[in-house]
Structure formats: C-alpha cells, structure tokens
Amino acid sequence: MINGDLQQSNISPIDIIKDFQSIENLPTHIAIIMDGNGRWAEERNMPRIEGHKAGIAAIQPLVDSVINSSIQHLTLYAFSTENWNRPKSEVDGLMGLLEKAIFKDASTLHQKNIKLNYIGNTTRLSANLQSLIKKSLTLTQNNSGVNCNIALDYGGREEIIQAIKNIIDDNISSKDINEDLINRYLYTANIPDPDLIIRTAGEQRISNFLPWQSVYSEYYSTETFWPEFKPRHLLDAMRSYSKRKRKYGKL
C-alpha cells in the first residue's frame, strides 16, 4: 500500500471534478474500507457514536465527486460480520444511524441518478432496516448513474461459504465449478472486481473485505480518519492509481 494525502485544503468542488476528468487511467470500481470513526471521536473526547455520525456525513460529498467521472462502481464497507462483536450500545447506535441515513438519503441519491445495492447477509438486520433497504433498492433500481454498493453485515469468508452451500443445494456437479460459476453465486454477482481498494486510518489489512474479488486490486492506505476523508483525498488516491501498471501476473 502507498500512504499519501493531498495537501491542498482549499480546492473547490468544481476544481476537484475538473481534476478527476483530467486524470487518465481512472479505475472504474473503487472500494473503500471506511475506518477510524471511533478513533476520530476519541481524539476529540467525544462518544464513539459521534464518530459514526461524522462518518456517515462524509459519504455524500464523496459520491457527489465521482458522479461525472468514469468511476462506475463505488463500494463502501459500512458494517462487517465481526462488528456484531462490539458493545451492544455501539452496535444499536450505529444501526439507528444507518436507518436514519437510508431513510433520509435514498431519495437524494435517487435524484442524482445513483443506483443503490447492498451486499452482505441483510437477514440479520432489524425488520425496519430491511424494509428501508428494500424501499431504497426499488426506488433506485432503474437509475443509470454510479452504482453505490453498501457492504452491510458483510464478511468475505461467510460470502464464500454461503456460495458453496448454494452451489451444493443447486446440485451442481464439481466438474462444472469454475471461477465464473462462483462469481455468479457471490453477493457481488454482476459487479466487476474492484480496481482500487482504499483504507483510511492508516491500517494495512483488508479485514475480511472482498477477499475473492480483490486478488488483483490495487491498494491505497491513508492515515486520514474516515470522517475527515474528503474528495481531495480521493483525488490523491486516483493520482496514485493512475501511475501504476497492473500486470495481472504477466511481465
């Protein structure tokens, strides 16, 4: 991974859009591990839930910044299967924030032609949250703009295990199993593999995020906590990606 942050703090949204459009070799699918909400809050002597609030608020500007670029897919790691192990009060608070965000922001994203998708085992979520997810999917299903994929109660190992179970249940012969077949049984069926995976808050691990899909993804790490991750930081990641040569095992 490469660490880096764009130092300019006074770039206007219009300039950022122009900069995105000027970069050659942009990825078409970016996935982001949104890390550091709790630490951001703790450094400010605030409750961790305030960090999650700030983290959710950071999403909309980022989506806006990629609308007019060649980026077609944006996947955000919102809640992992392991996150259930956090204190119940924090989990309950985060779930409440997600309900409010989906209820409030789905119509805004729809107006911007964003298509929402959710990957993960959403059956463990509350009935109200599941209902909101279904409504947001229905609302945005015919949109043709950026595909915004929310990884919610997502775990890569669980995804692969569930795919294997479904293949067995469908009585598919072992001789017919190949990469294309497995891809069709994953949560991410019909979603291309990520070209670039960004992780905030300085961590250097993937944390059970898209292990099958990321075998040839480029990685980028920034010390910036997620609540402070702005479109200009995304632009910095894009510039780093544009300079790389992807070989896929070839010379």
In Å, the largest CA–CA distance within the chain is: 58
Confidence of residue 8 (pLDDT cuts 50, 70, 90): very low
Q: Enter the pTM of the model.
A: 0.91
Share of the chain above pLDDT 70, in %: 92
Q: What are the pLDDT digits (tens) for 59-113? A: 999 999 888 788 999 999 999 999 999 999 999 999 999 999 999 999 999 999 9
Catalytic residues: 35, 83
The domain locations on the chain are 28-242
Residue that has been written with the tokens 């409010």 in this structure: 100
pLDDT of residue 250: 79
- In angstroms, the Cα distances linking 240 to 77, 138, 166, 196 are 21, 36, 39, 10
Calculate mean pLDDT across residues 207-235. 96
Q: Which one-letter amino acid corresponds to residue 145?
A: G
Distance CA 152, CA 79 (A): 5
Separation between Cα atoms, residue 44 and residue 180, nearest integer Å = 47
Determine contact, residues 57/227, Cβ cutoff 8 Å. Answer: yes
SS (H, E, C) 129-173: HHHHHHHHHHHHCCCCCCEEEEEEEECHHHHHHHHHHHHHHCCCC
pLDDT at position 10 is 54
Question: Residue 130: CB partners within 8 Å, gap ≥ 6?
Answer: 122, 123
Fold of 28-242: Undecaprenyl pyrophosphate synthetase (3.40.1180)
Is 33 a residue whose pLDDT tops 50? yes
Token pair of 222 as six digits = 């920034």
Strand runs (DSSP E) across 34-102, as ranges?
Answer: 73-80
**Residue 126: phi, psi to the nearest 5?**
-65, 155
pLDDT in tens, 46-62: 999 999 999 999 999 99
What 3-state class would DSSP assign to 89? helix
Are 209 and 154 within 8 A, CB to CB?
yes
Cβ distance 183 to 18 under 8 Å?
A: no
pLDDT at 238: 92
Beta strands 29-33 and 218-221 are unpaired
For residues 159 and 5, give the distance between their C-alpha atoms in angstroms, rounded to a whole number.
33
Once rounded to an integer, what is the mean pLDDT over residues 117-122?
96
